[in-house]
Amino acid sequence: MIGNKNNNDTTKLLNEKLGSESFLIAVHRGSSMGNIIENTLSAFYAAIQSGADILEIDVVRSSDGEFYIFHDGNERRLLGQEKNIREMDSVFIESLNYRNNIGQVVNYKVEKLENVLTSLKGSGMLLNLDRSWEDWETLLPFLDQFDMADQIILKSPVNQSCLSILEQHPIKYPYMPIIKKLEEIDEVLSYQTINLTGMELIAKDTDSVFFQDSIIRGIKEKGLFIWLNAIVLNDKDVLYAKYDDDQSIIKGPDYGWGKLIEKGCDVIQTDWPSLLNQYRQEISKKMKRG
């Protein structure tokens, strides 16, 4: 059982999913190819059809307080704009059209968070809200009106501001910190009323403390899930010891995703959900055969 027993109502779906699969598949910004744009409902529907259990969604707040689904920093590539989307007002944002995967302007707008939540409510999908922590003071009350605490997983770096907001907020959304330093584990655990459900571990290489089995085992023994990243953002940033999507596709799944499974992870974040789901099914068949 994941999470504090006092928060069973918000962790029921998460526990059901963790109990039904050997590991869960989290899809980075949804599945985007061709004319399907990342961080849109179309991308989320594609991810669901590809075997996703969790949709990783980026949330930003406009200059006039509206919430949208977008990973800031990608304005030039996706919208043809130089200004950060957080500095744009809602009228301007909604006047923009996306560029697709070959750079062509298409008739698709930036999604409002409200539209995504209402469309996915009751779908059985878990939603990991990323990039949102700077706006939690206004975002959490906004989320409350949708009655989706059982579907939403919040995440953030470990800092006092974020943890204090979570501690004080009456609705206890499942929470997963991004852990980069060993002392951050104890810091998060010191907040007794946060609905801590898992930890996302970052490991530059196999010498990292978060690559060690004893550390992973200790976290899991506290009733927390382990989230590991197979996504590849660029050639510089390593999220988990280079056991990633690239290795899984070029050399074979045993060399990437298989290593993450061996480490005991409960969730793998990927950009290739259909291939990872195929691998999961193959593992399941082998286990049934004994």
> Residues 178-182: what's their mean pLDDT?
98
Mean pLDDT, range 249-263, rounded to an integer: 98
Residue 27's Cβ-side half-sphere holds a number of Cα atoms within 13 Å equal to: 29
pLDDT at 109: 98
Give the closest residue to 17 by CA, choosing from 30, 34, 1, 29.
Answer: 1
Q: Side chain identity at 212, as an amino acid letter?
A: Q
Q: How far is CA 194 from the centre of its chain?
A: 18
How far, in Å, CA of 222 to CA of 3, rounded?
9
Reported as a single tens digit per residue, the pLDDT across 60-100 is: 999 999 999 999 999 999 999 999 999 999 999 999 999 99
Q: What is the β-pairing status of strands 152-157 and 175-179?
A: parallel
Helices 160-168 and 136-144: angle between axes, nearest 10 degrees: 30
The predicted pLDDT at position 269 comes to 98
How much is the pLDDT for 289?
79
Task: pLDDT band for 286, please (50, 70, 90 cuts).
Answer: confident
Helix 41-49 vs helix 113-120: crossing angle, to nearest 10: 30
Indicate the pTM of the whole model.
Answer: 0.97
> What is the model's pLDDT at position 290?
67
Q: What percent of the chain has pLDDT over 70?
A: 100
- Helices H / strands E in the chain, number of each: 12, 9
Q: Per residue in 107-155, pLDDT tens? A: 999 999 999 999 999 999 999 999 999 999 999 999 999 999 999 999 9
Instruction: Say if residues 159 and 185 touch (Cβ distance below 8 Å).
Output: no
Q: How far apart are CA 192 and CA 251, in angstroms?
A: 43
